[in-house]
Amino acid sequence: MSVKYANLAKQYMSSGNTGTHVNDLADEIVKNHPHIKDSTDVIANKLSATFSSSIKRKKGEFLKVKNKQGGSKRGVYKLSKKLTQQPAAPIRPTGISTGFVGKGGEHAVLSALLFEGYNASIMTVDDGIDIVASKETKYFHIQVKAATPKNDSFQFTIQKSSFNRHNNSQTFYILLCRRYLKTHTQNDLIILPNATINHYISAGTIKNGPSLNLNVSIEKSKYTLNKSGIRKSDITSYVNDFTHLR
């Protein structure tokens, strides 16, 4: 895990003389990778250990930053010059219809399920269920909703008639948020059991009408489900956590 955090940290480092403190690197990792469960303090400690080990090697990837007295700044590191070239920021496509986004979302979720050990298949006919999956003799009916950000939030719509038709414990809703970060695109999956949707309807977080409209916003590492632009419910625990699919 320490090496994984170090690889993520490279995205936010340069070879400049000022360097970057491990606490700031940990903050960036938590902000841009909300599925990570470790705290910033834990990540910062793991980064420090990895960086210190790298510095001891002749061709290490990371370097300490000198202070004015000739010593080293505590907790501040930079990349060696051979690693300063960063990948270009992804270009966000324009003019892509919702049909392409929706179908892409289904295939992305299907892939994620397979990597998690579910035997899954996309339904030939969309009758309110997009994917059927099984694991350990249990079966799951999954409806996928995919969106790209609009005004820093994601909008998802579930038809009420479809929701009522599949209102049972086997049904799950996976909301795919496709994010465009500094160096890459990222798909985050919000895995909501049918009972959770019912709970938010009863609580008034999701308006109960001909269609169920879910507004999701992301701030740093927190995902929230909103109603009329007002922050209502923290749903971070449902992000990329397949233990909810059971």
Q: What is the CATH number of the domain that holds 60?
A: 1.10.10
Asked if residue 215 belongs to a domain, the reply is: yes
Domain edge (last residue) among 83, 116, 150: 83
Asked if residue 66 belongs to a domain, the reply is: yes
Asked if residue 91 belongs to a domain, the reply is: no
Regarding whether 217 and 115 lie in a shared domain, the answer is yes
Regarding whether 195 and 115 lie in a shared domain, the answer is yes
pLDDT band (50, 70, 90) for residue 84: very low
Enter the DSSP assignment of 199. Answer: H
Enter the DSSP assignment of 150. Answer: B
pLDDT at residue number 86: 55
Do strands 211-219 and 185-193 pair parallel, antiparallel, or not at all (unpaired)?
A: unpaired
Show the domain range for 152: 98-244
Asked if residue 92 belongs to a domain, the reply is: no
pLDDT at residue number 161: 94
Asked if residue 90 belongs to a domain, the reply is: no
Asked if residue 89 belongs to a domain, the reply is: no
pLDDT in tens, 201-210: 998 899 889 9
pLDDT in tens, 91-120: 777 788 888 999 999 999 999 999 999 999
pLDDT in tens, 16-40: 778 899 999 999 888 888 778 889 9
Regarding whether 205 and 112 lie in a shared domain, the answer is yes
Regarding whether 217 and 149 lie in a shared domain, the answer is yes
Asked if residue 44 belongs to a domain, the reply is: yes
Regarding whether 41 and 102 lie in a shared domain, the answer is no
Count of the separate structural domains present in the chain: 2
Asked if residue 170 belongs to a domain, the reply is: yes
CATH number of 136's domain: 3.40.1350.10
Domain edge (last residue) among 57, 83, 109: 83
Residue 55 and residue 141: Cα distance in Å, rounded?
50
Q: Quick one: which of 150, 240, 230, 160 has its CA closest to 197?
A: 160
- Helix %, strand %, coil % for the chain, to 5? 35, 35, 35
Regarding whether 135 and 192 lie in a shared domain, the answer is yes
pLDDT at residue number 229: 63
Regarding whether 229 and 135 lie in a shared domain, the answer is yes
Regarding whether 122 and 17 lie in a shared domain, the answer is no
Residue 85 pLDDT exceeds 70: no
pLDDT at residue number 95: 80
As beta bridge partners, residue 158 has 212
Regarding whether 203 and 110 lie in a shared domain, the answer is yes
Regarding whether 160 and 45 lie in a shared domain, the answer is no
Regarding whether 59 and 147 lie in a shared domain, the answer is no
Regarding whether 102 and 79 lie in a shared domain, the answer is no
pTM equals: 0.68
Do strands 131-135 and 20-21 pair parallel, antiparallel, or not at all (unpaired)?
A: unpaired
Domain edge (last residue) among 58, 83, 108: 83
Residues whose CB falls within 8 Å of the CB of residue 231, separated by 6 or more in sequence, listed in order:
217, 224
Burial 56-84, CB ≥16 within 10 A → b, else e: eeeeebbbbbeeeeeeeeebbbbbeeeee
